[in-house]
């Protein structure tokens, strides 16, 4: 089976399973989305959604957040993990947004990725889900599934992102990012399926007998 054929199988099943997609991180604007995505690094969306209401009740704009001491931010976000780094990044980027961007979130990758704590994946989520600009945010979760489904042989998320962008239409990237995440959490978990059990894995590789071995990023 060709990679393009597997891609069509993937897209068909995902569109059927998740016709409507919404960001699983609670937010009200692009600033709160940015902060929520930053907090989600090595933390579950569920936990982030438990923490952000308290954080945003204290400060929900760059100006308000820039006035909150780092240690106060840390006290709130500590359960998300990586608290020291994340609290410093949130404080610093808020100050930069106030001083350099008039509190507005940049709508381009270069400026977004220049902000403290904002990597390419976080920027991609904000660009796609915040601004509606086509981007394909790939993390280890999507990287793993793309390998299982034969959509990439990339050894890192950068190469996997490049491969996925080549085989899927640009106007589907924003939706697919979320659909793949939802499917992985529900049907093709990290420590289950192993390329053998879920509908997508079985249809893409009906003759696969042994657990799939991933190229780890």
Of 141, 145, 136, 95, which is closest to residue 115 (Cα–Cα)?
95
Alpha carbons 43 and 190: distance in angstroms, whole number:
15
Mean pLDDT, contiguous 10-residue spans, the chain (217 residues): 96 97 95 98 95 98 98 97 96 98 98 98 97 95 96 94 97 96 95 95 96 81
For the entire predicted model, the pTM comes to 0.92
Q: Specify the DSSP class assigned to residue 214.
A: P
Which residue segments constitute the domains of the chain, with CATH numbers given?
3-21+136-204 (1.10.1670.10), 30-130 (1.10.340.30)
3-class secondary-structure state, position 30: helix
Q: What is the largest CA-CA distance in the chain?
A: 59
Neighbour-count burial for 59-87, b at 16+ CB within 10 Å, e otherwise: bbbbeebbebeeeebbebbeebebbeebb
């Amino acid at each position: 089976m060709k990679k393009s054929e597997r891609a069509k199988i993937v897209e068909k099943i995902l569109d059927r399973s998740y016709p409507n997609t919404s960001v699983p991180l609670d937010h009200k604007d692009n600033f709160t989305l940015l902060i929520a995505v930053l907090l989600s690094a090595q933390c579950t969306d569920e936990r982030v959604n438990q923490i952000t209401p308290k954080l945003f009740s204290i400060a929900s704009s760059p100006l308000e957040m820039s006035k909150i001491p780092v240690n106060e931010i840390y006290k709130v976000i500590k359960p998300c993990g990586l608290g020291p780094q994340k609290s410093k990044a949130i404080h610093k980027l808020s100050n930069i947004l106030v001083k350099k961007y008039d509190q507005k979130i940049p709508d381009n990758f270069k400026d977004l990725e220049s902000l403290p704590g904002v990597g390419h994946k976080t920027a991609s989520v904000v660009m796609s889900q915040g601004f509606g600009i086509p981007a394909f945010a790939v993390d280890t979760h999507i990287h793993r599934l793309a390998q299982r489904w034969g959509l990439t042989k990339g050894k890192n998320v950068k190469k996997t992102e490049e491969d996925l962008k080549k085989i899927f239409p640009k106007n589907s990237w924003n939706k697919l990012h979320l659909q793949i995440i939802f499917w992985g959490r529900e049907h093709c978990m990290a420590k289950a399926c192993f390329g053998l059990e879920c509908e997508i894995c079985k249809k893409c590789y009906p003759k696969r007998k042994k657990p799939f071995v991933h190229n780890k990023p």
